[in-house]
Amino acid sequence: MTSIGLGIHLWAQNTDWASYLAAARLVDRLGYDHLWTWDHLISAVGDTDRPVFEGYTTLAAWAMATERVRLGLMVGANTFRNPAVLAKTVSTLDHISGGRAILGLGSGWHVREHEAFGLEFGSGFGERLDWLEEALSIVRPLLGGEEVDHVGPHYRVERLRLVPPPVQDRVPIMVGGVGERKTLRSVARHADMWNAQSPLAEAPHKLQVLRDHPGERGLVTAISGMITKQGVSIWATEPPAAGYRYDDVSKAAAAATGSVPVVDAGEAGVGSVLTYTVTADAEGPSRSIALVDLGDGRRALAISDDRPLAQVLVATDVVGARAAVAADGSFALA
């Protein structure tokens, strides 16, 4: 049976620190499996002068304010940090959090923030992807406790071992991107998790390309996809088969607390909402997804497509509410 976990990605812009920290504590208290923020130095959406917080200092603060949720950047920009320094940062985060760190890494894409901070951006995506592959070849063994000597086209590391090593024997690495020739090669070689933001209809092809890359070790246990134009990430230990429906994947995304097993449709009854997720599309009705405790050890995954966006956005008290689940997997709040 496929096991599903649900996480929350909190945007780092358009907020104050007190609200941002309170949201992280709420995510941890509600029992989500992982908590993410992005890695931008200026606001990535809208005007570039909006407030935004730096990623790794945010994660360190969250680590002190939370108890169980795993923490990472979705995903870090490789161009921002030397990979050896990055490995040391993540190892320190792993100690602060008691072994809850995830290293997310991608090539970087936001031109303006590189210009503003004087960061090297390379000649294009191809060169930055080469830098990403080289960085991963340094970070992975360092996080595994190995001593690294490396003289490469872009980075140099001399007789370096992380002391102390991370708490986790293997710190999970998430690689972001869907490029079939370079990015998926790096995913196959180094990653435990894959941030693949592309249309869900393309997922079977991308997964096959990933499997066909030399070095694929069968360790990539997470995929993500776009359900709406704003996007919702889906994490599954097994990929959906070709021909799957949006509803099937959306319902899988709702299995949240403690990576509970997916429950087949047909669990009817009335119960209490454990987790509640919304996929918001401003051009039409939202899809709301609920994990409902029906009692006697039964949990149902339910989905509803008929709630207008305005209603969803004010539904702040859904967790803990009573919900009626029909045999076809739909639900309505009682």
pLDDT of residue 201: 66
Give CATH for domain 269-333: 2.40.50.840
Top-level class of domain 7-225: alpha beta
pLDDT of residue 180: 85
Contact 55, 93 (CB under 8 A): no
pLDDT of residue 209: 82
Which residues lie closer than 8 Å to 83 by C-beta, 6 or more apart? 134, 135, 136, 138, 139, 155, 157
The CA distance from 226 to 171, in Å, is 26
Residue numbers of the chain with a pLDDT score lower than 50: 1-2, 218-266, 279-285, 307-316
- Examine domains 7-225 and 269-333 and report if their fold is the same: no
Quickly list DSSP for 17-86: HHHHHHHHHHHHHHT-SEEEE---SS-SSS-TTS-B--HHHHHHHHHHH-SS-EEEETTEEGGGS-HHHH
What are the start-end ranges of the E strands in the chain? 7-9, 34-37, 70-73, 76-77, 103-106, 148-151, 156-160, 173-176, 193-195, 269-279, 286-295, 298-307, 322-325, 331-333
The CA distance from 270 to 105, in Å, is 42
Question: Would you say the pTM of this structure is higher than 0.75?
Answer: no
pLDDT of residue 270: 83
Provide the pairing of β-strand 269-279 with 286-295. Answer: antiparallel
The domain limits of the chain are 7-225, 269-333
